[in-house]
Amino acid sequence: MSDIPLGVLDLVPISSGSTAAEALRNSIDLARQTEQFGYARYWFAEHHLNPGVAGTSPAVVLALTASATSTIRLGSGAVQLGHRTALSTVEEFGLLDTLHPGRFDLGLGRSGGRPPGQPKAPLPTATPVVDGRAPNGLRIPPRFSFEYLLGSPRIALQRRLLLLPGAESQDYAEQIDDLLALLAGTYRSAEGVEAHVVPGEGADVEVWILGSSGGQSAEVAGARGLRFAANYHVSPGTVLEAAEGYRAAFQPSDVLDKPYVSVSADVVVAEDDSGARELATGYGLWVRSIRTAEGAIEFPTPEEARSHVWSDADRALVQDRLDTQFVGSPGRVADRLEQLQEATQADELLITTITHDHADRVRSYQLLAQEWRRRGHSFQSS
């Protein structure tokens, strides 16, 4: 397990009392510093109508960050294809690759304009989960249902504002095929008309599919031989299902001859456990704002978070995320990351850290990198 790189997933969080401009400057600074710490990748998420998140356009933030860094790979985690076209996505990343060739990961997700569907039953996993634990002790909580979020008024408004009137999202598998064909220069319409994207065709980008379950995203990634990122930090109850579903569907391609999986985790590191727990105090309240469909709030200070009066329903809503956030000293968190890697057989780990103060977030990534390197882990990605 010596070659398990660490990457960064950044939502560009806005702290209470701060501004979007400051959040963007902080994220660019964090990218510079994690490049120096040795992290392999730096990805930006895409979220909309969230007062506490400034990462609305990965391509724009990536362009700014590419100019401020030189070696770390940069990417989207993920571009939301539900409200976009394959062409617009290839054009954006083609522009980025033209100025900074060979540095970008094009991470793709299904959400954004996708209407709510029928809830799907959990898929069986080869890895037994007993009393909420994988065989090596990794916490696997009950599956969380996102269906009511997809049907909430705020998400419905987001869909209406992101899509042109009367527009419908393209079938995801077809959209991925169109995108891959446009990148490769092999696109032909049903009528036989060619399309060549300049810039974009031939762009030296790594294509990733992100998914939270063993459903269509995992199946599409596997069937097309693409890299796959499973979201333990979003849906810890389905991470095994996602990784196993991808591997079961995998077919070798010109890109990969075997499956390649990254797994994400929420992490806060400080010099000692108590210090880390203090920095993570606002996390539960922040997750609550997301899961009640209110939209992510500005990340609170520990004092602000402690003033919230919790109901039993609120606690139940966020308990799986609290139980699976890795908080503590460098050694404690590294132990849990190794446990996550072992249970999922991840090839890489993607770290997302949010604290109220920027300096604490930078320090968390620094301490983790030092401990990871001390244990002999390589930061080089395949």
Judged against a pLDDT cut of 60, whether residue 115 lies above it is answered with: no
Tell me the C-alpha distance between 323 and 320, whole Å.
5
Judged against a pLDDT cut of 60, whether residue 347 lies above it is answered with: yes
360-366: average pLDDT: 98
- Cβ atoms 306, 284 nearer than 8 A: no
- Tens of pLDDT, residue by residue over 228-287, are 999 999 999 999 999 999 999 999 999 999 999 999 999 999 999 999 999 999 999 999
Domain assignment present for 358: yes
> Going by DSSP bridges, is the β-strand pair 104-109/6-10 parallel, antiparallel, or unpaired?
unpaired
Q: What is the DSSP string of 254-268?
A: SS-SS--EEEEEEEE
What residues form DSSP beta bridges with 352? 266
Domain assignment present for 177: yes
Query: Half-sphere exposure of residue 309, counting CA atoms within 13 Å on the CB side?
Result: 0
Largest pairwise CA distance in the chain? 64
Question: SS3 for 86?
Answer: helix
Tell me the C-alpha distance between 261 and 246, whole Å.
9
Percent of residues, the chain, with pLDDT higher than 90: 88
Task: Label residue 331 by pLDDT band (50, 70, 90).
Answer: very high
Q: What is the pLDDT of residue 118?
A: 47
Task: Label residue 145 by pLDDT band (50, 70, 90).
Answer: confident
Judged against a pLDDT cut of 70, whether residue 113 lies above it is answered with: no
Tell which wins on pLDDT, 126 or 200: 200
Judged against a pLDDT cut of 90, whether residue 152 lies above it is answered with: no
Q: What is the pLDDT of residue 119?
A: 46
Domain assignment present for 316: yes
Query: Half-sphere exposure of residue 186, counting CA atoms within 13 Å on the CB side?
Result: 5
Tell me the C-alpha distance between 195 and 242, whole Å.
34
Tell me the C-alpha distance between 118 and 103, whole Å.
38
Q: What is the pLDDT of residue 3?
A: 87
Phi, psi of 329 (to 5 degrees): -65, 165
Q: What is the pLDDT of residue 114?
A: 52
Question: SS3 for 75?
Answer: strand
* Range in 6-20, 70-84, 141-155, 243-257 the model is least confident about: 141-155
CA dihedral 313→265→28→296, nearest 10 degrees, is: -10
- Cβ atoms 372, 380 nearer than 8 A: no
Q: Residue 378: CB partners within 8 Å, gap ≥ 6?
A: 2, 3, 4, 5
Q: What is the pLDDT of residue 124?
A: 72
Tell which wins on pLDDT, 1 or 360: 360
Domain that holds residue 288: 6-374
148-169: average pLDDT: 87
Q: What is the pLDDT of residue 368?
A: 98
Percent of residues, the chain, with pLDDT higher than 70: 95
Domain assignment present for 382: no
Domain assignment present for 379: no
Tell me the C-alpha distance between 367 and 256, whole Å.
33
Task: Label residue 155 by pLDDT band (50, 70, 90).
Answer: confident
Domain assignment present for 193: yes
Residue identified by tokens 């602000």 is 304
Whether the bond into 199 is cis, omega within 30 of 0 = yes
Domain assignment present for 1: no
Query: How far apart, in Å, are the Cα atoms of 86 and each of 176, 189, 218, 226?
Result: 7, 13, 19, 16
Q: Is residue 192 classed exposed, middle or buried when 0-12, 13-18 and 19+ CB atoms within 10 A define those classes? A: exposed
CATH assignment at residue 100: 3.20.20.30
Q: What is the 3-state secondary structure (H, E, C) of 218-243?
A: HHHHHHCCCEEEECCCCCHHHHHHHH
In the chain, how many domains are there?
A: 1
What residues form DSSP beta bridges with 228? 209, 261
Tell me the C-alpha distance between 195 and 269, whole Å.
48
Domain assignment present for 380: no
Q: What is the 3-state secondary structure (H, E, C) of 300-363?
A: CCHHHHHCCCCCHHHHHHHHHHHHCCEEECHHHHHHHHHHHHHHHCCCEEEEECCCCCHHHHHH
Q: What is the pLDDT of residue 147?
A: 75
The pTM (predicted TM-score) of the whole model is 0.95
